[in-house]
């Protein structure tokens, strides 16, 4: 009995000692943005995200990863006037699902450039073999008109501002085999809303707690033209379909300018495919881009 009481007193003493040490779980680091200018991406930059999709009236859940990588590439030649060259980065976005997923993996290749403020200009969309150039959807005939180079992300980012809607047609066969001509229109893309609604919502991720990312509300559509046979995806927010489908996307993204998108929720509806509605949640979990110094 004395031995048993001794053990009880010993356990109680150890418990009291530990309590007096004020042991607590380490706090999550808080990261605060100090600039409104989007990062100017460099070759070999990458961001990796966790992805969760919910389908079938949100009853089916699939998981995967999304990787965005920027790489150096050869200058692009304008398909109408080959004397014009564009210095660009190759941006490859790869959405890969776990083995038991019912979703289809997606790869998107885009060619972009940025100015010193971080504004992103889109030049062309690729599929690993061909380039598909962008045209004014109100003025696509004849096919020898100049390509357009839309700014798809404005920087600096300003709360309360709304980007001018981005709309373009994607054409096939531009400059190949005949320089100065394009083939038919494949699809049109219309970003109808891109509004910076605030910077007061904190987002917690595997990399830390981001205290003041810009919150951006967006919405847009993608619609096929001319009964195309080419099937590409030009924007990750329309990944529930391809250029063969009528799709619509809407949601919220949180952007830390020093890095880029850190979290996004996107509702993608496919009006012509078998899968009608997909809800995507992507959250950053890794990057080689330097993070701002934590504040705590």
Q: What is the mean pLDDT of the chain?
A: 89
Residues 172, 182: Cα–Cα separation, whole Å: 6
Residue 11's pLDDT is 43
Residue 104 has pLDDT above 90, yes or no: no
Residue 173's pLDDT is 87
- What is the arithmetic mean of pLDDT over 219-238? 93
Residues in contact with 263: Cβ distance below 8 Å, sequence separation at least 6, in sequence order: 203, 205, 213, 253, 254, 281, 282, 283, 284
SS3 assignment, position 9:
helix
Provide the 10 A C-beta neighbour count for residue 12.
10
SS3 assignment, position 288:
coil
Residue 242's pLDDT is 93
- What is the arithmetic mean of pLDDT over 81-97? 96
Q: Strand 208-210 vs strand 30-31: parallel, antiparallel, or unpaired? A: parallel
- The more confident residue out of 143 and 65 is 65
Residue 22 pLDDT class (50, 70, 90 cuts): very low
- What is the arithmetic mean of pLDDT over 203-219? 96
Residue 59 pLDDT class (50, 70, 90 cuts): confident
Which residue's entry shows tokens 């680091």?
29
Residue 140 pLDDT class (50, 70, 90 cuts): confident
Residue 228's pLDDT is 82
Residue 25 has pLDDT above 80, yes or no: no
Residues in contact with 278: Cβ distance below 8 Å, sequence separation at least 6, in sequence order: 53, 54, 55, 103, 239, 240, 267, 268, 269, 270
- Spatial contact of 241 and 108, defined as CB atoms under 8 Å apart: no
Q: Is the peptide bond before 145 cis (omega within 30 degrees of 0)?
A: no
- The more confident residue out of 240 and 101 is 240
Residue 3's pLDDT is 41
Strand-pairing partners, residue 278, are 268
């Amino acid at each position: 009995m004395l031995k048993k009481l001794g053990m009880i007193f010993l356990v109680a003493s150890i418990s009291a000692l530990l309590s007096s040490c004020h042991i607590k779980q380490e706090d999550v680091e808080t990261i605060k943005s100090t600039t409104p200018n989007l990062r100017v991406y460099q070759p070999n930059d990458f961001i990796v995200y966790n992805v969760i999709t919910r389908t079938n009236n949100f009853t089916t859940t699939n998981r995967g990863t999304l990787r965005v990588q920027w790489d150096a590439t050869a200058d692009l030649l304008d398909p109408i006037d080959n004397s014009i060259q564009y210095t660009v980065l190759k941006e490859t976005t790869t959405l890969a699902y776990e083995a038991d997923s019912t979703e289809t993996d997606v790869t998107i290749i885009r060619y972009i450039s940025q100015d010193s403020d971080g504004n992103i200009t889109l030049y062309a969309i690729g599929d690993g073999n061909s380039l598909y150039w962008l045209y004014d959807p109100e003025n696509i005939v004849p096919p020898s008109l100049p390509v357009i180079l839309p700014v798809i992300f404005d920087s600096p980012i300003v709360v309360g501002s709304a980007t001018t809607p981005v709309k373009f047609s994607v054409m096939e066969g531009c400059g190949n085999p005949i320089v100065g001509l394009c083939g038919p229109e494949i699809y049109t893309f219309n970003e109808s809303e891109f509004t910076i609604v605030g910077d007061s919502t904190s987002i917690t991720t595997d990399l830390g707690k981001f205290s003041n990312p810009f919150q951006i509300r967006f919405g847009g559509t993608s619609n096929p033209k001319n009964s195309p046979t080419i099937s590409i995806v030009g924007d990750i927010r329309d990944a529930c379909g391809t250029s063969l489908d009528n799709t619509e996307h809407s949601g919220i993204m949180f952007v830390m300018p020093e890095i880029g998108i850190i979290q996004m929720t996107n509702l993608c509806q496919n009006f012509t495919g078998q899968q009608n509605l997909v809800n995507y949640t992507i959250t950053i979990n890794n990057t080689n881009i330097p993070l701002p110094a934590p504040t705590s």
